[in-house]
Chain A
Amino acid sequence: MATTIGIWIAAGLTLFIYSFLYKDNPFYKFAEHLYVGITAGYWLIYTWAYTIQPMLLDPIIKNKEFILIIPAFFGVIMLTRWFPSISWLSRWSIAFTVGIGAGLGVTGSIQGFILPQLKSTILPLTGLNFATFNNLLIIFGVFTTLVYFYFSREHKGLLGHTAKVGMTFIMIAFGASFGYTVMARISLLIGRIYFLMFDWIGMMFGK
């Protein structure tokens, strides 16, 4: 019974949302606001149940881990941004976050992105085969794209031509992204229509 009610609610809300394709209307607005409200409520519960209670309140109250009062204090003073006269206090927390982020980011980026990507661009160009052609294409693409982002000199002459080739590579990448984006959006539509046809209508006909 609960599943049946759930399917009816989901089907109704899906149709409310799709009614926007015809034109804006109160049904769409209702579904939109409901979605925003439920998502906010869900986040709130999860933040309380998985962050504040188990990682802060329980350790302090049950395990007497009073050291956690320090990060809690930094968390609370983040909220001082709402009060202009003491909003400067929030900078301490932001400085702490930025420091950790930068520390983790610098080492992480070098280890995780820059070195492996550099390594994978140093490719062999030996032999007359398709692999060599592919490698050449990658090296050429990386080089010309980097030239496109070199702005210390005007893009004229050889630099301009090379940058234009780099821009072409970027455009091809954008084209691939656009194609994939179309596929993603159609996938979502397929998912919803599949649900309406087989879960909702199918349920009505006892399939």
Chain B
Amino acid sequence: MKIFEKLSHIDRRFIYILIAIVVIVPLLLKPKLPIVPTKPVKDIYDYVENLPQGSNILISIDYDAASMPEQQPFLEALLRQCFRNKLKPIMIVQWQLGAPLGTTGLEKIAKECNAQYGVDYINLGYRPGYVAQMVGIGREIRDYFAVDYKNVSIDSFPIMRNIHNYNDFALLVGLEAGATYLLWVEYAGGRFKQKIALALNAVSAPDAYYFYQSKQIIGLVGGMKGAAEYEVLENKPDLAVAGMASQSYSHILIILFIVLGNITYFVEKSRKKKEGGR
């Protein structure tokens, strides 16, 4: 039973090394594990796929660098799908620190797909206000976004000519790292009946599934796993798919740690009880 005593006092750094190994090795060896798209992810993909050409999609960047590995792959996959189907992404930002990430992703995919700024897509940048802004867009988007992210009047861009409020967006896609999605559901969805799709960080995803069940959102992409599913659907595997093997193996390791930790706990507890009984 000495092994359990040793395990109960194991150096945490040993666990970190094991986690690092199970993350690094699959990234190097690239084993192929099946990634099967789930219904909440597929629902978003199918909805976007069936939109008529020229439909406008409002994309809200509500995350920052701390969520980049989870959100950026989905953003890029979604933008590829939009440009492939001749849909028009209109990007806005609710989180200041997310503005450069959204811009980087949009510019990268627009260049890859030969999309033209102001005609096929536009970046309206960050504006403060949250609820006031969300309610305001329901009336007239120009009240908050009179200029784009480079301070150019939005009326000078052909893409914005017929866009005024939620009625002009076929879909609102929120890429969310915090609780901003609740406001989108509450105001854009509840008040203006805007169709909403959400991509949430894995931490927040379980809290949003009930919006999917109640059909307040059309679908849900949960964390890197959801992004990987979207990449598979778009047939363009990227960072999220590359990380899935590491994700799976590290989960197995953590489950083993939990099982081992519990066994050690109970064995040690019973040993101490016996020693106390003597």
**A176 to chain B: which residues have CB within 8 Å?**
206
Cβ contact of A197, chosen from B24, B99, B215, B247, cutoff 8 A: B24
> CB of A182 within 8 A of chain B?
yes
CB distance from A59 to the nearest CB of B (A): 11
**A109 to chain B: which residues have CB within 8 Å?**
186
B interface footprint on A173-204 (CB within 8 Å = 1, 0 otherwise): 10011001111101111111110010000000
Interface locus among B80-88, B123-131, B259-267: B123-131
Query: Known: A117-B210, A183-B251, A194-B243. Is A188-B23 also a contact (CB below 8 A)?
Result: no
B13 near A51 (CB under 8 angstroms)?
A: no
Interface locus among B52-60, B153-161, B187-195: B187-195
B interface footprint on A30-47 (CB within 8 Å = 1, 0 otherwise): 000000000100110011
> CB of B232 within 8 A of chain A?
no
B50-98: which have CB < 8 Å to A?
A: 66, 68-70, 96-97
> CB of B42 within 8 A of chain A?
no
Interface size class of B (residues with CB under 8 A): 35 or more
> CB of A104 within 8 A of chain B?
yes
Cβ contact of B213, chosen from A47, A120, A193, A197, cutoff 8 A: A120
**B243 to chain A: which residues have CB within 8 Å?**
187, 190-191, 194
Query: Considering only CB atoms, which chain B residue lies closest to A43 in the complex?
Result: B96
Interface locus among B109-117, B167-175, B197-205, B270-278: B197-205
B97 near A190 (CB under 8 angstroms)?
A: no
Interface size class of A (residues with CB under 8 A): 35 or more
> CB of B44 within 8 A of chain A?
no
A108 near B126 (CB under 8 angstroms)?
A: no
**B28 to chain A: which residues have CB within 8 Å?**
197
**A177 to chain B: which residues have CB within 8 Å?**
203, 206-207
Cβ contact of A183, chosen from B185, B202, B207, cutoff 8 A: B202
> CB of A138 within 8 A of chain B?
yes
List A residues at the B interface (Cβ < 8 Å).
Answer: 21-22, 39, 42-43, 46-47, 50-51, 55, 104, 107-109, 111-113, 116-117, 119-120, 138, 173, 176-177, 180-184, 186-194, 197
Q: List 23 A-B contacts (CB under 8 A).
A: A46-B99, A46-B126, A50-B96, A108-B131, A112-B216, A116-B214, A120-B215, A138-B213, A176-B206, A180-B202, A180-B222, A180-B223, A181-B202, A183-B251, A184-B70, A186-B247, A187-B224, A189-B19, A189-B23, A190-B23, A192-B69, A194-B27, A197-B28
List B residues at the A interface (Cβ < 8 Å).
Answer: 13, 16, 19-20, 23-24, 27-28, 66, 68-70, 96-97, 99, 125-128, 131, 135, 185-187, 189-191, 201-203, 205-207, 210, 213-216, 222-225, 239, 242-243, 246-247, 250-251, 254
